Structure 1
Amino acid sequence: MIPTPDGGRRGLQIVLGTLSLIPFASGAAGVLVGPRALPGVDGPVPTDVDSEYRYTHAMWFTAAPTLWRALPRIEEEAAAVRAVSAAVFLGGLARLVSWRATGRPHPVLVGATALELVGIPVLLAWQRRVARLASR
């Protein structure tokens, strides 16, 4: 990758915009389809699990528009990026708790956990770099 004087601002916008499609699609599927949107879930689930799953996915659905709003001024929108990133990172930690309590999840969810716990800190560092270079 060729270093840019702006820290890769455009690249960050593209990566965040693209990655934001994950919670948007997952949130929409979770609200509309419920837990059967998960890989490996074919049958009915308890009513309370369905309700909580759809509620939680409505929250995920809102993460994408929050990031989309921040993209044009990504160097100035650290608070929005941090807030969404914190929620995603904490979700990854919650997945680890579940993994320990109930066993290894489907490989898709293992990948999601890796993205949440490794990718998010990288994106936050990238955003901080872009913001620092923009303030010069």
Structure 2
Amino acid sequence: MSSSEHHPTGSPQDSTRPASGSTPGSPAAGQPRPTGAQQGPGPTAGRTPGQPASAAGAQAKAGTPSSAPKTAAKSGKKATKPKSPKGEWGVFRTVVILVGLILAGFGAFYLITGTSGVPDTDLGTPSPTLESQFRFFSAMMVGVGAAFITIGVKFEWANMLWMVCLMVFIGGIGRVLSWAFSGTPHYMMIILMVIELAFPAALLVWHRYIAKTTEIRNEYAARG
């Protein structure tokens, strides 16, 4: 074949060659670029026709765990955490323990000394019957003091405080009856009578006040 036999210009071989400066897959010069529906996979891949981009993004993120439930759970735990005035309860329990120590101390003193330890008494040789009865009730006084101490230390039994305070209050009423039927006792007995009548009631009112305020604070904390 002679050298003059060349392919003519514009032959099919020339038409299949990419234009200079163009990359594979890019449209030829003069041809329109493909629209978004004809383009390859992009940020909106997997979106069904007619589905907005925001919905597709939400659907793509549906499988990933969100931290919102954890945050809500943590905030819920913080909101429902009970708030108890530890300072007020601590002072109250300390006072209850001190009352128990005082009562137990007086009871132990009278249990050892008997009627001779009572002020303003000149019995000489006390009656054995009176001495037996007096020492018995002195031991009961030690038991009441021990009950106060136990309630103050192990505060789970705080409901028993009402019963113990009632016992002390009734003891104060007994002193009132003694004063009415037997005459005025020693001033020390009058002081003890006032304490036994007033202090149990004040202690129970104080206990109720702290319990009520704690309940109200817990209700507000539960509401957030």
TM-score bin (small chain): 0.7 to 0.9
**Which has the bigger relative contact order, CA under 8 A and spacing at least 6?**
1
State the match for 1:119 in structure 2: 199
* Cα pair 2:97 2:149 within 8 Å, conserved: yes
Query: How does 1:74-113 map onto structure 2 within 5 Å?
Result: 74=155, 76-113=156-193
Residues 1-136 of structure 1 correspond to what in structure 2 (within 5 A)?
A: 5=85, 8-42=88-122, 43-74=124-155, 76-135=156-215, 136=218
Uncovered stretches (5+) of structure 2, i.e. residues with no partner: 1-83, 219-224
1:72 and 1:132, CA in 2 relative to 1: closer, same or farther beyond 3 A?
farther
Q: TM-score, length-normalised on structure 2?
A: 0.54
- The one-letter code of the counterpart of 1:62 is G
| TM-score, reference length from structure 1 | 0.86
Structure richer in helix, relative to its length: 1
Q: Any idea what SS the aligned residue of 1:71 has? A: helix
Q: CA deviation at 1:73?
A: 4.7
Give the partner amino acid of 1:46: S
Paired amino acid for 1:110: I
2:110 aligned counterpart, secondary structure: helix
Structure 1 counterpart SS, 2:125: coil
C-alpha distance in structure 2 between counterparts of 1:84 and 1:44, whole Å = 34
Instruction: Pick which of 96-105 and 38-47 moved more.
Output: 38-47
Aligned CA RMSD, in angstroms, stands at 2.0
Instruction: Give the distance between the partners of 1:134 and 1:123, measured in 2 at CA.
Output: 17
1:130 offset after TM fit, Å? 2.4
Give the 3-state SS of the residue equivalent to 2:159 in structure 1.
helix
Gaps spanning 5+ residues in structure 1: where? none
- Conservation of the 8 A alpha-carbon contact between 1:7 and 1:126: no
Question: Given residue 126 of structure 2, which amino acid in structure 1 is its aligned partner?
Answer: V
Query: Which consecutive aligned stretches of 4+ in structure 1 deviate over 6 angstroms post-superposition?
Result: none
Measured in 2, the distance between the counterparts of 1:70 and 1:130 equals 16
Is the 1:78–1:128 Cα contact (8 Å) retained in structure 2? no
Q: Percent identity?
A: 27
